[in-house]
A and B are shown apart, each in its own frame.
Chain A
């Protein structure tokens, strides 16, 4: 095991791996944000009174949580460009070949899968808000939007925080799958490095440590956020 391969600069792969880690963080953050948006939307559908919306959201979470992310990545990777071409041709009359950027493909796939888990977390958090509080807000004459922003959102955010922390860990780890379609993040960079130096263990072990650092630090961050969010809550 030749650790000098991992130094910073032209001689080693340290800087490449570092920028790979930045790419991992970027794609994970983008997918997480997208996933939370999906989560809010589908949780609202699951909580709505319309059975058709309910069914759509149920299908979404069941299918996404029952099918491997890798398969979804292949689907979007192989069909995304085609779909985009059909839309571009139909709407703008643009017939040239276009490809979905790998970053966007990855973000869509991981975001979709994170969204399914976030849906359940947010739905649970909404249900955890006592009905009496909404009734009380209504009784003192709060409008619907005010009830939403003043009563529902602050508490849902607090209840959902631990679950959303888990979803973040999941998202961060799932981004490693995007390496199979060529996004140069930690895993891909490690593959490139091990391919050209014939030292796969060194590189994958470095990747393992990078992921360990990322998950440990973000876990700390979420724990801190939880403590902060609960500072006004009486402990039982």
Chain B
């Protein structure tokens, strides 16, 4: 182990953490709304919507992300004249835009299936009851379907977030210098892969550790009835574990 090199290179790798986080956060944010739309299309009874959603999900889930990124970033170059004529070339020539676009579409396809699973797990009796009290379709979705579905989908969505953090590493193949890109740059300059790998790996593991913790505490907050007997990680640190159930868990 070359400690000196590790000491020299960790600030450079740390400086790349925001790039990874920005890529992951922006594509997850945009992808979530797209996924919500797609999953609603997928469960809709109008066949053109559900077929389109099925095709979209099928296409993006059965091809590698790398192909999708290259197709958007390099492939758009083939139609440069067309994109220039409609004024979109300023976006497609940017690696940032292409990376976020492909990551967004990819995560939307995966998370729409997770959300669909949540939506379909909503007990039909609840929907019937909501209809019986005269809720409008939108109110029914906002008050009944969505809150129940999101609780059901949360663990799966947590996995998807981690997969997305990992997937941002592919942005390094289209010139974006996030953690993996910087790591590769340093490795090919210094030829000491293990040291750099350890640092970059620790950064990824820390990010993913924090993500899992946030998701877990969100899960506990949203459905405390499932965690009655279990102490959360934070609680076991802070309040010696005497948890009272049913005092502050009213949702609005």
Residues in A lying within 8 Å of B, measured CB to CB: 1, 62-63, 65-71, 74-75, 77-79, 169, 173-177, 179-180, 187, 190-191, 194, 198-202, 204-205, 207-208, 211-212, 215-216, 219
Contact = CB atoms under 8 A, between A and B. Distances in A.
Contacts of B62: 169, 173, 211-212, 215-216, 219
15 contacts: A66-B166, A67-B166, A68-B169, A70-B169, A74-B184, A173-B63, A173-B64, A176-B66, A179-B66, A187-B64, A194-B74, A198-B78, A201-B77, A211-B62, A215-B62
Residue of A198, A201, A211 most packed against chain B (CB within 10 A): A201
B66 A74 contact: no
Contact of A201 (B79, B166, B200): B79
B173 A180 contact: yes
B162 A66 contact: yes
A17 to B, nearest CB: 13
B37 interface: no
A196 B142 CA distance: 53
B204 A67 contact: yes
B197 A71 contact: yes
B64 A201 contact: no
Interface residues of B, number: 40
Contacts of A74: 180, 183-184, 187, 193, 197
Interface of B: 59, 62-68, 70-71, 74-79, 162, 166-170, 172-173, 179-180, 183-184, 187-188, 191, 193-194, 197, 200-201, 204-205, 208-209
A176 B78 CA distance: 22
Contacts of B64: 173-177, 187, 211
B208 A71 contact: no
Given A63-B201, A201-B78, A202-B78, A187 B66 contact: yes
Nearest to B178: A68
Nearest to B212: A66
Contacts of B204: 66-68, 71
A200 B78 contact: yes
A181 to B, nearest CB: 10
A105 B104 CA distance: 30
A67 B201 contact: yes
